[in-house]
Amino acid sequence: MKRVTAISTAILAAFWTAFAAPAAAQERGPVVVELFTSQGCSSCPPADALLRELAEREDVLPLALHVEYWDYIGWKDSFADPANTTRQKGYARAAGRDMIYTPQMVVMGQEDVVGARSMKLAELIMHHMQAPALVLLSAGRDGAEVRISLRPASAPVEGPLDVHLVRYAPLRHVEVTRGENAGQSLDYANVVDAWQTLGQWDGQGPLTLTFEAPAEAGARDAILVQRAGFGPILAAARLR
């Protein structure tokens, strides 16, 4: 398992070394990769390790969404939230599927990758980096106040678009004592703790949102702009 992970991350690093993020990626913000995972899933640790590698990049925003439907096999995931399962089911319905699984990576709310297929994931990330930006997003914090500005990059964008605030922990550690991963010491990156929809945007003209969201010690925040109904993510920004 460790050898497979090492090979995967080496391939991923080599792939990205050959490419620089284009201007479109800088305008749109990082490419969002959502990993649906569980501490109780024996197939998940390689994908979790791959997500940790992604967390070191500025041009990718990886998010770990832990689900609870593996809890019955002997280990209750301490990060699991039923809302994450609901989100995964939403993606499945949007894609015309009736099955969900772990580990599953969803790139920019559109394509999914099974497990830790590093080359497939790298190709999808590069595809989105090279795609033209449709939405320009800026976000900043002044004390407890957060200000978000949105505008179409060129032409109006099909809406409605949901504006999300995501809070996540950069790194967490777990000693698993039961279940499929019993005896393993596991590190998890960018574990989602909270997900809030701030409002909707029609995509037709500029929009500014101001709201209160005090920074929390040990946590980080990001803004996502996503077509309603679990559609494509069109922009993202880390909240500094």
* Residues β-bridged to residue 77: none
**Reported confidence tier of residue 7, pLDDT bands at 50, 70, 90:** very low
**Reported confidence tier of residue 3, pLDDT bands at 50, 70, 90:** very low
| Per-domain residue ranges of the chain | 2-239
Residue 65 confidence (pLDDT): 98
Which of 14-28, 181-195, 205-219, 221-235 has the lowest average pLDDT? Answer: 14-28
Rounded to two decimals, what is the model's pTM? 0.91
CB 129 within 8 A of CB 59: yes
Cα–Cα dist 189/172, whole Å: 6
Residue 13 confidence (pLDDT): 60
Residue 115 confidence (pLDDT): 83
Nearest residue to 87 via CA among 114, 106, 113, 71: 106
Residue 28 confidence (pLDDT): 67
Cα–Cα dist 240/227, whole Å: 24
- Res. 33: pLDDT tops 80: yes
What's the whole-number mean pLDDT along residues 211-215? 90
Residue 1 confidence (pLDDT): 41
Which of 23-27, 52-56, 152-156 has the lowest average pLDDT? Answer: 23-27
**Reported confidence tier of residue 9, pLDDT bands at 50, 70, 90:** low
One DSSP character per residue, 192-219 reads EEEEEEEEEE-SSS-EEEEEE----TT-
Note the helical H segments in 32-81.
45-54
* 158-172 confidence digits (pLDDT tens): 999 999 999 999 999
One DSSP character per residue, 88-123 reads HHHHHHHTT-----SSEEEETTTEEEETT-HHHHHH
**Reported confidence tier of residue 4, pLDDT bands at 50, 70, 90:** very low
- Chain centroid offset of residue 98 CA: 22
What does CATH list as the number for 2-239? Answer: 3.40.30.10
Residue 76 confidence (pLDDT): 96
* 79-134 confidence digits (pLDDT tens): 999 999 999 999 999 999 999 999 999 999 999 999 889 999 999 999 999 999 99
What's the whole-number mean pLDDT along residues 23-48? 88
Cα–Cα dist 175/197, whole Å: 32
